[in-house]
Amino acid sequence: MTEAYATIVFLFVLFTLLGSSIWIGLALMGVAWVGMELFTTRPAGDAMATIIWTGASSWTLTALPLFIWMGEILYRTRLSQDMFRGLAPWMRWLPGGLLHTNIAGCTIFAAVSGSSAATLTTVGKMSIPELRKRGYPEYMIVGTLAGAATLGLMIPPSLTLIVYGVSINESIIKLFMAGIIPGLVLAALFMSYIVAWHYFRPEQRPDPEPSISFGTMLAESRFLIPVLCLVFAVIGSMYFGWATATEAAAVGVLGALTLAMFQRSLTFSTFFESLMGATRTSAMIALILMGAAFLSLSMGFTGLPRALAAFIDQLNLSPITLIAALTIFYIILGMFLDGISSVVLTMAIVEPMIRQAGIDPIWFGIFIVVVVEMAQVTPPIGFNLFVLQAMTRHEIGYISKVALPMVGLMLLMIVLLVAFPGLATWLPETIR
């Protein structure tokens, strides 16, 4: 009975503190403190300082600030201009035309950045005005962009996957590799939506692009090629075992700095801005991780996660039912919390549950990323919606309506992941 009591107390304090808009990391600390004081005799404050220090000085976590920094540097270069110019000539042959630059651009930027808001801004800054100028329908421009930007969370380097890997002690490299194929499949799903639009709504097609020569095509994409090289260097070095995730991140930062230098966009002020931007973002995530570390410890002392896992086990749910239930749970949670917070907040509870049910934790990492991706574009709280609102001046309601087909495609992606778990698990198994 104590477990039921503990659950109610935890949930009540959690909702009160989060709802009263205390910063998420500090709110989690408050919940953990209440749990420690009520249900254990251990000194709460000492346990808190020890666990937070151990977590904050952990070596595996160092990949996080570096990957953030790499994205910040490239975000401040002229990448977004070059991205559109470089991709447009290659995309104009596809049915659906330049709308595909939204998807391809997001896929490429996702491979150098782990954040979906940065992906959205970088690609959208250039593609929205260019696509509007060419007369593509507004709902397709905004909708496909909102959906595709969430690829930033899935395609490595992914901040959500680093945080997930650190909180359940799984290899970050394996998680990164697991994200590649599902990320590309999801991009393909988004692209087929554009193709479908092309054939079903022929009256909305804009005039075809003028043709250009192959030489011009290559010349236009001259900056895109070095970025692709950087992507392959970072991901390849992890895949072939030459570097750890942290070292690959360091290579990424140096590579991004070099690219920016050759492009002559690396001034002292952009360097400083990228550094401070990355410092702030990583401090933001660090505070949440600190709160979550203390909360996990506190919940562990109460025995709540074990009891809940045993309870779920006793229900004899099939893994599919469990996944379906968790999908709904995370969609609801994602309506109010961002992806990283929902992952760290629930992992202490969900991890024993999925291990008990025999679900592969690597596969589950990819599953959870797809679900929190959906949360990015569903109201009332969705970071991508806010960013797009600031960029396009549309209402949140309009943006979430036009992004709805993308949410449908992401649900389809979950079905695909359940039906073909190999999508996520095959590549990590082939790592040297």
Partner 1 sequence: MRDWSPVMNLPLWVWLFVLPSFIGVVCLIVGPRLEPYLRPLWRILDRVYATSGAIAGFFMIMILTLIVIGMVARWTSVAVPGTTEFAGYAMAATSFFALCHALTRGAHIRVSIILNANDFLKKWLDLFAVFGAAVIATYFARYAIKANFFSEMLNDRTQGQDQIPEWLVSLFSLDFAGVAAGSTTLAYTPIWIPQLAMSIGTILLAIALWDTLYRMLVTGVNPIVSESVE
Q: Which of residues 141, 243, 345, 402 is near partner 1 by CB under 8 A? A: 243
The residue within the footprint of partner 1, chosen from 6, 25, 104, 400 (CB under 8 A), is 25
Asked whether position 33 contacts partner 1 by CB under 8 A, the answer is: yes
Cβ distance to partner 1 smaller for residue 23 or 329? 23
Q: How far is CA 90 from the centre of its chain?
A: 27
Could you say whether residue 321 binds partner 1 (CB under 8 A)? Answer: no
Stretch of residues binding partner 1 (CB under 8 A), selected from 163-171, 242-250, 310-318, 367-375: 242-250
Instruction: Note whether 163 binds partner 1 by CB under 8 A.
Output: no
Of the CA atoms within 13 Å of residue 399, those in its CB half-sphere come to: 25
Q: Does 404 bind partner 1 (CB under 8 A)?
A: no
Q: How far is the CB of 23 from partner 1 (least distance, A)?
A: 5
CB of 336 to partner 1, least distance (A): 6
- Give residues 266-285 in contact with partner 1 (rule: CB under 8 A): 272, 275-284
Residue/partner pairs of 272-276 with CB below 8 Å, 24 or more apart:
273/72, 273/76, 274/69, 274/72, 274/73, 274/75, 274/76, 275/69, 275/72
Tell me the C-alpha to C-alpha distance, in Å, between residue 68 and each of 110, 168, 289: 12, 21, 15
The binder of partner 1 chosen from 3, 7, 9, 22 (CB under 8 A): 22
Of residues 280-319, which lie at the interface with partner 1 (CB under 8 A)? Answer: 280-284, 286-288, 290
Q: Is it true that the peptide bond before 428 is cis, omega within 30 degrees of 0?
A: no
Q: Is 131 in the site for partner 1 (CB under 8 A)?
A: no
> By CB under 8 A, is residue 250 in contact with partner 1?
yes
Establish if 11 lies at the interface with partner 1 (CB under 8 A): no
- State whether the Cα torsion 96-97-103-107 is positive or negative: positive
- Contacting range for partner 1; rule: CB under 8 A; set: 80-88, 316-324, 337-345, 355-363: 337-345
Residues in the interface with partner 1 (CB under 8 A) total: 65
Min separation Cβ 61 and partner 1, Å? 6
Name the residue nearer to partner 1 (CB basis): 18 or 98.
18
The site map against partner 1 for 51-90 (x = CB under 8 A) is -xx--xxxx-xx--xx--x---------------------
Stretch that binds partner 1, among 2-10, 49-57, 304-312, 393-401 (CB under 8 A): 49-57
Is residue 303 within 8 A of residue 181, CB to CB? The reply is no
Binding site for partner 1 (CB under 8 A): 17-27, 29-30, 33, 43, 45-46, 48-50, 52-53, 56-59, 61-62, 65-66, 69, 115, 117-118, 121, 243, 246-247, 249-250, 253-254, 272, 275-284, 286-288, 290, 336-338, 341, 380-381, 387, 390
